[in-house]
Chains A and B, each alone.
Chain A
Amino acid sequence: MSPPKRPTRLLATLAVALLVTLGLSVFIGRYPSPYWMPPGRLQADELARQLVWSLRVPRLLTALMLGMTLSAAGMVMQMVFRNPLVEPGFLGVTHGAAFGAALCILWLRPNPVAIELAATVFGLVGMLLSYSFARRIHFGGWVLRLVLAGIAVSALFSSGTGILKYLADPLTQLPEITFWLLGGLWSVTWHDLVFVLPLVLPALVVIYLMRWRLNLLSLSDDTAFSLGSAPGRERAVLLGAAVVATAALTAVCGVIGWVGLIVPHIARRACGSNAQYALPTAMLVGGIFVVVCDDLARALLPGEIPLGILTALFGAAIFIALLTRATLRARP
């Protein structure tokens, strides 16, 4: 009897597709002319080389990490919370980060490091608040408690951000806050990447290595206990990794939604719900998705389109397509 079939062909195809997408994206942009730069130009033009190296490459790498992280974090959250409608940011992480960034834009000197730090810190604060509120709720299982606490904390931060938007100077600060809330990689440099990498890479590695145990954690606590796991501890590790990575990337890229919600669904449809294979699939699909969206964001029009708008647009379209397709065997 053969072991459960590994979707190696699917994973290999996706990996190749990702590399091809990255390779092509290096030549997509607005310089020297809209959309496509002939590769020969790289050799001839010093400015082209500089732009590609200092702008496009860090931006592509950040988009790749964003896609992989949001998808991995989304899958972790969906399995840990046993709820396919959960997003990485919903534990108050995204709204907390948004609040932190708005606070910084409003009241501190314009300082990129400060904005990133504030967003990360407040993202984590949001998660800790959700967690401590959840512990004080005395009804419902722990999943319900965390979901309720997450909704409440997100609402708190989101109204706080609303107040900040109201107080912001419409001339100088409000457009900045609004653009940040819609998400965009337009000012990403190597410096931002260096800030983000030490937080994101270890988190992704941890999640990747623990992916088989996600299956276990998606079952009831009693079952997990009986199978020799300490579900509280393992959940904490996985959630912590997911949240730290998400908060760090939100600090740099702004609020990007829908990726963490949709891509795990696509991955599960493609190769089944076993996280051992679904997680790497999700990471690859997420990477491709965000890189393509970012290519469009920076190359389609002379002005930048906020990335969050494109991911929401395509994400929602794909979501509708997934939901309405009539499949005989509907796998969640």
Chain B
Amino acid sequence: MVRLQWFRFSLLIVVGAALSLTPALAAPAASAPSPFTVTDALGRKVSFAKPPQRVAIAGRGLFMISDAAYLFPEAAQRLVALGPLMGSGRDFLPLVDAKLGTKLLLDPGAGAEQIVPSRPDVVILKSGMALNLGPTLERLKIPVVYVDLETPPQYERDLRVLGQILQDPGRAEAVCRYYQEQAARVQKAVAGIPEAHKPRVLVLQCGSKSSEVGFSVPAASWIQTTMVTLAGGIPVWTEASKGAGWTVVSLEQIAAWNPDQVYVVRYRGNVQGFVAKLRANPQWQALKAVKQGKLFGFPADFSSWDQPDTRWPLGLLWLAARIHPERLGSVRMADEVARFYTELYGLPPDVIRGKVMPLLQGRL
């Protein structure tokens, strides 16, 4: 009797040890050379045994990644989970993905537990998630690829990465060509302008109190600063925004800078109405930009064009046409918008006319 129990006990230990050793044995097999390796934004090499069929997008800043993913027609089939969808995503994505309803929509702050049931082969995250969500997913054996999508060079790099993952590198090249072409167009148009002739430009975000005296300026490293520089303007606010986020400035400082042109961004609410209020404000009327009629609201359709979203070339074009109208007067934004949505998202003209054009805010 005792000997039988002892036998069972030792069998249990052996089986247990074998089970616990199996992953260790399996691991070397996984690191054998595979057909697919992607270098992501953090320089990591992520390998795939076979091309991923099920793709998930999660974490903060989702709209940048999802808008970039849907530049590829495969996204509609390959994406199985994405979220959280903020307002702009909820309006725009149904237009490019008829099957959005069948996908798993993640809640804000969704953790690995919510993503895993969709059984993704890869999860795409912004590089800021490398501290928490990413490692958790990797521990569950789900490959993670990080993207940045914050600056024009990063766009090209990350679009190619997306092209690899969605197995359409040709499409990635086509989209990159579009971005390069638009950027080159602007650069060529403003080439050779001496510094002294470049207008001093200020980009402001209005606060949620809709105050007419307190605004914030973007960080010096952000795409808004890059866009102004590319468009042939001088960003005046960089001395204030040494930090990593939006920096609050008062009207006094704005008056001290007294820029030649002011662009106001408003992420929630109507920007044109707000700009009209500013124009009527006597303090603003004393500023050079308002006197010269150079106070503008930044245009937006589903989202504002100033952000590092796929629409930034539209923002850049529009900005450049405003900063140097003498050089880019031929630009017709309505045509550019139509071209953008046709070429990049494949939207039919009636959808563009019916769904996109009515959203356009800002004088184009």
Contact = CB atoms under 8 A, between A and B. Distances in A.
A184 interface: yes
Given A110-B268, A171-B267, A302 B249 contact: yes
A186 B109 contact: no
Nearest to B240: A302
B73 interface: no
B342 interface: no
Given A110-B269, A167-B108, A30 B211 contact: no
A175 B245 contact: yes
Contacts of A169: 86
Contact of A170 (B60, B255, B256, B287): B60
B283 interface: yes
A283 to B, nearest CB: 27
Given A172-B268, A189-B213, A298-B252, A46 B208 contact: no
B95 interface: no
A31 B255 contact: yes
Contact of A303 (B108, B217, B287): B217
Interface residues of B, number: 38
A160 B247 CA distance: 26
Contacts of A173: 208
Interface in B226-266: 237, 239-241, 243, 245-253, 255-256
Nearest to A306: B248
B282 interface: yes
B212 to A, nearest CB: 8
B256 A33 contact: yes
B211 A189 contact: yes
A320 to B, nearest CB: 28
A114 to B, nearest CB: 9
A50 interface: yes
B286 A50 contact: yes
A303 B208 contact: no
A109 B270 CA distance: 11
B252 A30 contact: yes
B253 A302 contact: yes
A184 B215 CA distance: 13
Contacts of A47: 255, 283, 286-287
Given A31-B253, A31-B255, A184-B248, A303 B209 contact: no
Given A47-B255, A55-B252, A176 B207 contact: yes
B268 A186 contact: no
Nearest to A301: B240
A175 B269 CA distance: 17
A280 interface: no
Given A30-B256, A31-B256, A170-B60, A298 B109 contact: no
Contacts of B245: 175
B225 interface: no
A301 B241 CA distance: 10
A102 to B, nearest CB: 11
A222 B247 CA distance: 54
Contacts of B283: 47, 50-51, 54-55
A176 B252 contact: no
Nearest to A105: B208
A110 B248 contact: no
Given A109-B269, A303-B240, A172 B208 contact: yes
Contacts of B256: 30-34
A166 B109 contact: yes
Interface string B194-213: 00000000000001111111
B214 interface: yes
B216 interface: yes
Given A167-B108, A175-B246, A303-B247, A55 B213 contact: yes
Given A50-B286, A175-B246, A302-B240, A112 B209 contact: yes
A179 interface: yes
Nearest to B86: A169
Interface string A232-248: 00000000000000000
Contacts of B217: 303
B208 A30 contact: no
Nearest to A47: B286
Given A55-B213, A172-B267, A186 B250 contact: yes
Contacts of B212: 189
Contact of A110 (B209, B240, B252, B286): B209
A50 B243 CA distance: 30
B286 A115 contact: no
Contacts of B252: 29-31, 51, 55-56, 298
Contacts of B239: 302
Given A47-B286, A298-B252, A110 B267 contact: no
B345 to A, nearest CB: 22
Contacts of A298: 250, 252
A187 B286 contact: no
Most chain A CB within 10 A, of B86, B207, B243, is at B207
A304 interface: yes
A43 interface: no
Given A32-B256, A186-B250, 7 more contacts: A34-B256, A50-B283, A50-B286, A110-B210, A187-B209, A298-B250, A303-B248
4 shortest A-B CB distances, which residue pairs? A187-B214, A302-B240, A187-B211, A303-B247
5 contacts: A32-B256, A46-B286, A111-B210, A171-B307, A298-B252
Interface of B: 60, 86, 108-109, 207-214, 216-217, 237, 239-241, 243, 245-253, 255-256, 267-269, 282-283, 286-287, 307
